[in-house]
Structure 1
Amino acid sequence: MYPYDQPHVFGGLPFTARQMPRKLKWLQSRGEIRQVLKGVYVDARVPDTRDLRLEALQLVVPPDATVCGPTAAWLHGIELTTLGPEPLLEPHWTFQPRPTVELQGLRVTSPAATAIELAQHLPRPFALSALDALLHQQVVTLDELHESSSAYFANDSRSPAALLLRLADGRAASPGESWLRLRLFDAGFPRPELQVPAGRYRLDLGYPEHPVDDRRLGLEYDSDAWHSTDRQQVRDESRRTDLAKLGWHIIPIRRQDLWGSYPALELTVGAFLCRHPRLPRRW
């Protein structure tokens, strides 16, 4: 491995153009480097920080451009899973006037402008998870979003972006919770509460004010990272047994339940709430 010294971010160097694809793939396969952005690599020992992201972007963004879109959200601290299905970010910038902030000499769209433009241009599930993440990490506030949105659409706008801004909620703690909430909204169900207290537990989403036969409905997004091992699944079962004793019916949701083609989620929730879901699904 190369000595750990500066600069540790590079755009294909120190190899020649003819050597680069083979050399980079070899170093990546050995776990010695990783790709930060499309065409920009870093020593694998360097932690992912905003300073690193800025340094990487400064290699590829023209000096008079403004970083925008998903790249701006990434600079503001939002992870790629929240922004789209691709594991690698392609830099986005513009030469058009935008509300900006300056980060170490790099112009970046302001957090509020970034959020609104994501709501306008990303697919709806990722637009909502990006808005929720920006609010959750306190990069921007709801008041700032609503104040800035007047430059993009009217207060009573029914555009998809305006509706997503009204649905955004910083209490969502993961992209899966945001996607789940959008599915419920699109199906026409009542707006659920987030981070619902239930005894010594806290539910991702729930309907504490809509009991059916003295039972209330809770929904939890079980990510593969935290709910896959035998030990984790035993813990989940124990937790749901406790919640059942407290009068909660829990529907666990996995990623494939959110992105699959069959509307099992809507039908299951509708059956418990005694409501017909609005179908077909919109995404």
Structure 2
Amino acid sequence: MLGLDVRPPERWRSAPKLECLVPLDGIRPRHPGVNAFISALPPDDIVVINGIACTTATRTGLDLARWRPRFIGLGAVDALAHAGLTTVTELAEAAGRLAGHRFIRRAREVIDLCEPATESVPESWCRLRLIEAGLPRPAVQVSLRDADGREVYRLDMGILEALVGIEYDGAEHHLRTVADRERDEARRKDIRRRWRWRVLPATAADILGRSPQLEGAVMELLGISIDFRRQDWGLQA
């Protein structure tokens, strides 16, 4: 309804499940295929889209950060804020109004990780993988400029102090052909030569699979070793 889809890849091909939020004094509908939840629902949290009453972007982001796994919640708040539909401040204020409600602490943690400059949901998930491993929180949309101040390249994310960049390589734009892969490799070699940044590619399998290869590669470039267990998001790329 808000023009964004933050579901995992294997769910993109199916119709989204319909979820209904009912005010505290309302009656929960019981219809096949509809999940209904009862919660505090102030009038300001409701907006009408194409004749249908929906939760606002801010309330939608808050509820996803509350009730869904962290990677779904973070992808949602990043995407909503990037689209200009809400802000980190508005999300934090909305969470404050529901202080004491279930899973609000989880929501606050997700909102604190929100980076509105993030340009895709997989980039949000990639960043979360690094944070969950205990690695430094990456900066997003790192601009590499020439001597005249003109932007030549932009990295999805990077650890500034170590000059280590991480970029999400989606199948559609980066992995479809040999030419795509060769172009990306040449670009990263040029970045290493001119700016000394070492850039790692991350695929859907690196982010959504069970292997901690991505975290290990970043640790190797940082010259550190952290004992961690990759959190199971219940997905396979």
- TM-score scaled by length of structure 2: 0.79
The percent identity for this pair of structures is 31
Per-residue deviation at 1:95? 2.6
Q: Which residue in the other structure is 1:135 paired with? A: 81
Q: 1:195 to 1:107 in 2, by over 3 A?
A: same
Find the aligned partners of 2:64 and 2:182 in 1 and give their Cα distance: 39
CA shift digits 1:4-48 (9 cap, x unpaired) = xxxxxxxxxxxxxxxxxxxxxxxxxxxxxxxxxxxxxxxxxxxxx
**Aligned match of 1:255 in 195, 204, 209?**
204
2:177 corresponds to 1:239 = no
Give the distance between the partners of 1:197 and 1:264, measured in 2 at CA: 26
- For residue 191 of structure 1, the aligned residue among 121, 124, 137 is 137
Match of 1:124 in 2: 70
For residues 276 and 168 of structure 1, what CA distance do their matches in structure 2 show?
26
CA drift at 1:158 = 8.4
The answer as to whether partners of 1:266 and 1:277 remain within 8 angstroms in 2 is no
* Count of matched residue pairs: 200
Deviation at 1:103, TM superposition (A): 2.1
Task: Name 2:218's counterpart in structure 1.
Answer: 269
Measure the CA separation in 2 of the matches of 1:127 and 1:158: 12
CA deviation after TM superposition for structure 1 residue 129, in Å = 0.7
Q: Which amino acid aligns with 2:226?
A: P
> Hey, what's the Cα distance between the residues in 1 that align with 2:58 and 2:226?
33
Which structure 1 residue ranges, 4+ long, deviate > 3 Å from structure 2?
Answer: none
Whether contact under 8 Å (1:135, 1:141) holds in the other structure is yes
Amino acid at match of 1:183: R
**Structure 1 residue 94: deviation in Å?**
2.8
Cα pair distance change 1:158/1:191, threshold 3 Å: farther
Match of 1:281 among 221, 227, 230: 230
1:1-283 correspondence to structure 2 within 5 Å: 75-79=1-5, 82-84=6-8, 85-87=10-12, 88-96=15-23, 98=41, 99-153=45-99, 159-199=105-145, 200-208=152-160, 210-211=161-162, 216-228=163-175, 229-245=177-193, 246-283=195-232
Amino acid across the alignment from 2:210: S
Q: Counterpart of 1:237 in structure 2: which amino acid?
A: E
The change in CA–CA distance for 1:173 and 1:188 in structure 2 (over 3 A counts) is: same
Q: CA deviation at 1:253?
A: 0.6
Cα distance change of structure 1 residues 158 and 146 upon mapping to structure 2, 3 Å threshold: closer
Paired with 1:278 and 1:140, the residues of 2 have a C-alpha distance of 36
1:82-105 deviations in Å (ceiling 9; x for gaps): 233412212211332522112233
Return the alpha-carbon distance in structure 1 between the equivalents of residues 87 and 141 of structure 2. 19
Q: Hey, what's the Cα distance between the residues in 2 that align with 1:217 and 1:170?
A: 21
Distance 2:50 2:214 in 1: 46
| Structure 2: runs of 5+ lacking an equivalent | 24-39, 146-151, 233-237
- TM-score, length basis structure 1: 0.67
Amino acid at match of 1:86: R
Distance 2:218 2:225 in 1: 9
- Higher relative CO (Cα under 8 Å, sequence separation at least 6) belongs to 2
> Which residue pairs with 1:44 in the alignment?
none
Q: Take 2:67 and 2:11, find their aligned partners in 1: how far apart are those partners?
A: 16
